[in-house]
Structure 1
């Protein structure tokens, strides 16, 4: 028997109104929604927040893996990402990422970790793009 890989994410809407969407990503389920001003009930992160969360999580994991491989004394890693839209810019979507690194790191190590953050797979996906292939069932 072969294991069928599970989808990376599933979103389901009951069809009973509203914008609340049940999302399963990996082994976790949550509700996605939008702000009241956009027609939702603000019961969960909106899709832009979910993308920002992916960038923050991937950045944190990438830095941790790199520091561990180098045996650097990296303490806590805190990454905040803010999503915004600038309609007059190309592309209009903007993600501001702030990284806080604790631990006994010198200036060279901190600079290298900043460069490594730019190599996180989700950062690269957002800056280089991806193909989306859609089918309707």
Structure 2
């Protein structure tokens, strides 16, 4: 197998133990509660899994654009990235992510256009559009 072996997982999810759907998600040094809405059987105490994917795309987009602008010495005063998830059952693939990027700063039209092109190169954007393999191992006692 040629896949890299990691000594520490990128993320973990542990059932809260309260009998609901609340899950403690640890990614890097942070732990948050993930949940689903009350209508879906949760308590709406945190983002649902689709919202977490949207958050990853929004964060990666912002970081990618910021890194590029910094490297070029371009002035971004503020940036805001919104990501929406839609399920289109009559389309393939069914899932669609819509991203809205707002950039403020001393930038000309060509620089703004280039930053939108760079957003397309965000690693999470590329992962979502290219697809990925998920390999699952089930453990237990």
Q: TM bucket by the smaller chain? A: over 0.9
Identify which of 44, 51, 54 aligns with 1:52: 54
Alignment of 1:1-137 (within 5 A): 5-137=7-139
- The runs of 5 or more residues in structure 2 that have no matched partner are 1-5
> 2: distance between equivalents of 1:50 and 1:42?
13
> 2: distance between equivalents of 1:99 and 1:135?
38
Moved segments of 4+, more than 6 Å: none
> 2: distance between equivalents of 1:26 and 1:108?
36
> 2: distance between equivalents of 1:7 and 1:78?
29
Across the aligned residues of Structure 1 and Structure 2, the Cα RMSD in angstroms comes to 1.1
Aligned length: 134
Return the offset for 1:123: 0.2
* Normalised TM-score (structure 1): 0.94
> 2: distance between equivalents of 1:8 and 1:17?
25
